[in-house]
């Protein structure tokens, strides 16, 4: 029988299990959701046991679809959500029922303590950690030390999300370079933990797992894991990678300057390059790539697809199955520029590339002639222009490939792809991979690690181009003329957000 590969995408909302043929064709997939717990303001937690149950349940459901026999599964790998901290005792037992995930920001005091002795800009330029510092692993571990001393005294090792699942699968404790690059103590150019930052944290180096390549086969399924998943014990397990890097691989970012846009709830643009894109002012966030010798550097907005969903719910009145099609029809009837109506999509605050973390969203320039179609089109254009503005950060550092791959739910709209092509001034490509980029990246890591693929170059053969949106010169010029007005709105909304934030603190 033909060999198959299982890829796991361990995300914030749930775990996806996908079965791939050796040629990269996705044969079947399942999705098992799990909850996020919010015990206090800024605390975002999930249960590692829920992850494991989702992996086991999803795998069994995957095999019941009968696209292939469990006996045909050769290898697997995980794309895992970043910046999670799972404390384990010396026997590998879980010490905390629920743990802080990537978006948890409780460690503000620990962050302030660390930066009393470490220059913040130098830390960023070494690590590439451009999210709010409180999100990164080292500060959450310091929080354990300061607030849960009994737990911390019994902690022998702290693993990330996919590395904990790998422990459950194989009994082995490793991480890879991509996941290690989100710890807050990793030297990007040195390809190792930075001893200086570990000393500044006051933590023991022994808390951090050994680093191996993403493609390293760290073991095979234990008998217990094989029984739980409904597979055979001979399945090889590659170390896998952090979600950002696996998605970059699955999105064809396999060489210098290759770039993609992900249009999900939050939206970002990432480029692959031999040198990380680092700027202490705008702080692109960087992860080591799962491909040796490369980095994936990204800029983002916090509310891309979620802003468009807000327009659907509030202005269009609900989430009927055909609603997005109706919105596309309305927007297509509105001209480029939506009769000079602008939309700033900062409905969830600002990323490091925005003028302020407190920036607010807005429709600006509205008057009595504007229709619902204008509002919808302005929403689509505003999200594209916001991403176009942060794209300029990457363009300053890396010569970009001539085309932009579009992935994520928003990439399904032909109109939106054209708007992006006109705003970016570059071809925007949609392929068959679409929302499966993270899973495909994990499958590719397993395939290379197990020797089923000779190299990551095979990714290009998996992608089949379905549409290319080419920039229309007249539209490009119209958006170019609108951009100064859009930037003015961004600045003013940032100033307004700062004033409102001060009022909220009173």
Q: What is the pLDDT of residues 402-461, one digit of tens each?
A: 999 999 888 999 999 999 999 999 999 999 998 899 999 999 999 999 999 999 999 999
**What percentage of residues in the chain have a pLDDT greater than 70?**
99
**Can you give the residue ranges of every domain in the chain?**
4-245, 305-391+480-504
What pTM was estimated for this model as a whole? 0.94
CATH class of the domain at 4-245: alpha beta
d(CA 273, CA 253): 9
Give the Cα separation of 349 and 207 in Å (integer).
34
The fraction of the chain above a pLDDT of 90, given in percent, is 92
Please tell me the predicted confidence (pLDDT) of residue 1.
Answer: 62
Question: Using 50, 70 and 90 to split pLDDT, how confident is the model at 264?
Answer: confident
pLDDT band with cut points at 50, 70 and 90 for residue 506: low
Spatial contact of 144 and 88, defined as CB atoms under 8 Å apart = no
Phi, psi of 205 (to 5 degrees): -60, -25
Fold designation for 305-391+480-504: Nucleotidyltransferase; domain 5 (3.30.420)
Question: 78-97: per-residue pLDDT in tens?
Answer: 999 999 999 999 999 999 99
List all residues 6 or more positions away from 240 whose beta carbon is below 8 Å from its beta carbon.
8, 77, 78, 79, 80, 162, 166, 176, 214, 246, 442, 445, 446
Cα 460 to Cα 469: distance, rounded to the nearest angstrom: 19
Residue-wise pLDDT for 291-307, tens only, equals 999 999 999 998 899 99
């Amino acid at each position: 029988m033909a060999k198959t590969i299982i890829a796991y995408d361990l995300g914030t909302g749930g775990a996806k299990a996908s079965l791939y043929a050796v040629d990269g064709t996705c044969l079947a997939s399942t999705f098992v959701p799990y909850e996020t717990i919010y015990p206090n303001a800024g605390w975002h937690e999930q249960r590692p046991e829920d992850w494991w149950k989702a992996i086991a349940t999803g795998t069994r459901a995957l095999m019941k679809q009968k696209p292939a026999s469990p006996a045909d599964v050769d290898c697997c790998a995980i794309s895992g959500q970043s910046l999670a901290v799972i404390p384990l005792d010396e026997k590998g037992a879980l010490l905390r029922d629920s743990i802080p995930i990537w978006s948890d920001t409780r460690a503000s005091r620990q962050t302030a303590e660390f930066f009393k002795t470490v220059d913040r800009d130098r830390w960023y330029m070494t690590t590439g950690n451009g999210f709010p510092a409180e999100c990164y692993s080292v500060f959450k571990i310091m929080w354990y030390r300061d607030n849960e001393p009994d737990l911390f005294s019994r902690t022998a090792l702290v693993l990330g999300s996919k590395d904990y699942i790998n422990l459950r699968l194989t009994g082995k404790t490793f991480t890879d370079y991509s996941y290690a690059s989100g710890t807050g103590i990793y030297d990007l150019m040195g390809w190792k933990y930075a001893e200086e930052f570990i000393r500044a944290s006051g933590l023991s180096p022994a808390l951090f797992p050994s680093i191996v390549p993403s493609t390293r086969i760290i073991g095979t399924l234990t008998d217990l894991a094989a029984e739980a998943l409904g597979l055979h014990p001979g399945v090889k397990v590659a170390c896998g990678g952090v979600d950002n890097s696996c998605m970059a691989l699955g999105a064809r970012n396999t060489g210098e300057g290759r770039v993609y846009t992900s249009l999900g709830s939050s939206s970002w643009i990432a480029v692959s390059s031999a040198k990380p894109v680092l700027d202490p002012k705008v702080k692109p966030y960087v992860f080591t790539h799962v491909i040796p010798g490369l980095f994936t550097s990204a800029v983002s907005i916090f509310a891309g697809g979620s802003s468009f969903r807000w327009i659907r719910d509030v202005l269009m009145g609900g989430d009927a199955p055909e609603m997005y099609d109706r919105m596309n029809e309305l927007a297509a009837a509105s001209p480029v520029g939506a009769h000079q109506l602008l939309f700033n999509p900062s409905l969830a605050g600002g990323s490091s590339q925005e003028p302020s973390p407190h920036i607010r969203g807005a429709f600006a320039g509205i008057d009595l002639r504007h229709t619902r179609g204008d509002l919808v089109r302005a929403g689509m254009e505003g999200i594209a222009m916001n991403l176009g503005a942060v794209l300029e950060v990457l363009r300053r550092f890396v010569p970009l490939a001539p085309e932009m791959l579009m992935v994520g739910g928003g990439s399904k709209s032909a109109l939106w792809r054209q708007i992006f092509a006109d705003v970016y001034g570059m071809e925007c490509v949609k392929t068959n991979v679409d929302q499966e980029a993270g899973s495909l990246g994990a499958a590719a890591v397993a395939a290379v690690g197990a020797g089923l693929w000779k190299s990551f170059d095979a990714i290009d053969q998996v992608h089949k181009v379905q549409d290319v949106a080419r920039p229309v010169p007249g539209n490009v010029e119209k958006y170019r003329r609108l951009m100064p007005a859009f930037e003015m709105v961004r600045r003013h909304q940032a100033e307004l957000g700062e004033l409102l934030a001060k009022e909220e603190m009173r």
